Structure 1
Amino acid sequence: MKKLIILGLLAISFVSCQFSETLVMNEDGSGNLSVEVNLNEMMAFGAGAMGDSVPMKLDTIVYIKQFLEEKKDSIATLSASEQKKLKALENYNIGIKIDSDAYEMVYNIATNFKDISEANNIHEGLGQMGNMAPNLNSNSSEGKKKESSEESIGVLYTFNNGVFKRDAYIKDEASHKKEVDSLKNTEAFLSSSKYTLNYTFPRKIKKASNPKATFSADQKTVILKESFVEYFKNPDLLDLEIELEK
């Protein structure tokens, strides 16, 4: 989560960004999960300052398994724990779309899974985007050995017997407190930033634990939205338990 914050804060300066999780679940428990960071407001805000700069267009997908193979010599110089973290992300793909003329900048990380628990480290993957995105990390080098720091917030997903659960939790209280304190100077500028969950299930939803949740007309999709800053301060705000109809 810390790297996600850094990605947002450093990239947007004083302009808000929007975060969203999109889940499509199949009857057998398989499906697709993606997390998106939308920086379109930053692009629109910076358009005037860019003046006559060269337009930028980029639309690409980074297949992490392929990336790890291509960079295996550099990765081999990392510690065993760092290599293990990267290996755990090999089934994820990172999408990057930038169009300066259309004021568009969107990043996302996605994975197909056989069981939703396979996606429990998707937010760690989002934090690695700066190291894997082509043409966006000019300070990186082939032999870079910088090790990643631990995320202070984690998310666990489960789906058993027709019940889906999303449980966000603080992994490191001390680290989390420091990160919350670091938000104080920019909190006002991030006031319009939202974190949205958009989950679609194979059957109608019988009930949802969060009273702020709204539903699609067919009752198969649940939407839950919260202030990004408030969510980061208190991850429980986006905890969710969904019970499907039999």
Structure 2
Amino acid sequence: MMKLYKLLSFSFLIATLTSCTFTENIYINDNGTGKFSVDMDGSSLMAMAGDQMSEQMGADAKKNIDTTFTFKQLFEQKKDSIVKLSPEAQKELKKLENFVVNSKMNAEKKEFLMTLSTDFKNVNELQDILQTISTLQKLEGGAGANPLGSNFADNGSKLNYTYDGKKFSRKAVIDQQKLAAKAKDTAADMSKMIFASSNYILKYHFPKKIKKVSNPAALFSEDRKTITIQYSFTDYMENPDKLNFDVEFEK
């Protein structure tokens, strides 16, 4: 089987080479616990990857893959590289330990799917998983595997979730200094071109009926307990606060 780090690096290579759909799912239970996941669909690359994919993955490109592993297992493989990172970067990676990664690749069906998921006791525990992944890419070989550099998906913001049974909030606070530095990145133009054809979808499931949502683009499920909001990935990267919204629930 392909080494875990090689598989994860290739998954994010797919994300940067073609249009992808990222779906951020949150399932909240009555007691505030729940499950968080980010699903990445890179199947469009499978239809046109051809020789390029074979060069990246070698013999593994010809195999069907359906594998599940934890970041904790991955970090064990890369422990020698992790100790070379700054204390801040190591702390960021620590947040990923309980995440489970499931990857499926089927060349015949032109399918490539990856899910990063974890359970939580409170939504306040959650952070922006894609930004944290950008820290992972700083490990040996990570930046080289990514044509957009080691800061892919780092949108220069701090994301917070809150839920108290009456209201839910998703709020990204922008770090203007980091955003300005990213704007000067030499890969910025290439990034914009790729991100323009990718989507970032929020799909949140609540235990109560929703009274109102501050974002007028929100779509409701029939039972009004789930909302779906679709953005361009450009918004996620360049205007992360555009994805902010509040939800109020019926009593």
TM-score band by shorter chain is 0.7 to 0.9
Say if 2:177 is the partner of 1:174: no
Cross-structure match for 2:238: 233
5 Å-filtered alignment, 1:1-246, equals: 10-11=13-14, 15-47=18-50, 55-69=62-76, 71-127=78-134, 151=154, 152-171=156-175, 172-178=178-184, 182-185=187-190, 187-246=192-251
Paired with 1:185 and 1:79, the residues of 2 have a C-alpha distance of 28
Percent identity of paired positions between Structure 1 and Structure 2: 34
CA contact (8 A) 2:130 2:153 kept: no
Residue 224 of structure 1: CA displacement?
0.2
SS at match of 1:45: coil
Alpha-carbon distance in structure 2 between the residues aligned to 1:195 and 1:116: 20
CA drift of 1:239 comes to: 0.9
Counterpart Cα distance in 1 of 2:11 and 2:66:
20
- Give 1:76 shift: 3.4
Shift, 1:217, TM fit: 0.4
CA distance in 2, matches of 1:70, 1:49: 26
Change (3 A) 1:31 1:13: closer
For residues 27 and 91 of structure 1, the distance between their equivalents in structure 2, rounded to whole angstroms, comes to 22
Size of the aligned set, in residue pairs, is: 230
Alpha-carbon contact 2:11-2:114 (below 8 Å) kept: no
Structure 2, gaps ≥5 residues long: 1-8
What is the CA deviation profile of residues 165-218 of structure 1, one whole-angstrom value per residue up to 9, with x for unaligned ones? Answer: 111232323234235x74434544543311100111001111101011010000
Aligned equivalents of 1:11, 1:218: Cα separation in 2: 36
CA shift in 2, pair 1:170/1:75, >3 Å: same
CA change 1:244–1:14 in 2 (3 A) is: same
Q: Aligned equivalents of 1:76 and 1:50: distance in 2?
A: 31
- Please state how far the C-alpha of 1:81 moved relative to its aligned partner: 2.6
Q: Structure 1, residues 4-55: CA drift from partner, whole Å, max 9, x if none?
A: xx9898535653111110111111111011112211111112248779x862
What SS does structure 2 have at the residue aligned with 1:82?
A: helix
- With 234-243 and 6-15 compared, the bigger mean Cα shift is at 6-15
What one-letter code is carried by the residue in structure 2 that aligns with 1:194? N
User: The residue matched to 1:211 in structure 2 has which SS?
Assistant: coil
Query: Separation in 2 of the partners of 1:117 and 1:72?
Result: 28
8 Å CA contact 1:197–1:225 kept in 2: the answer is yes
**CA-CA distance at 1:130 after TM superposition:** 5.4
Q: Distance in 2 between matches of 1:148 and 1:194?
A: 18
TM-score (norm 2): 0.76
Q: Which residue of 2 aligns with 1:144?
A: none
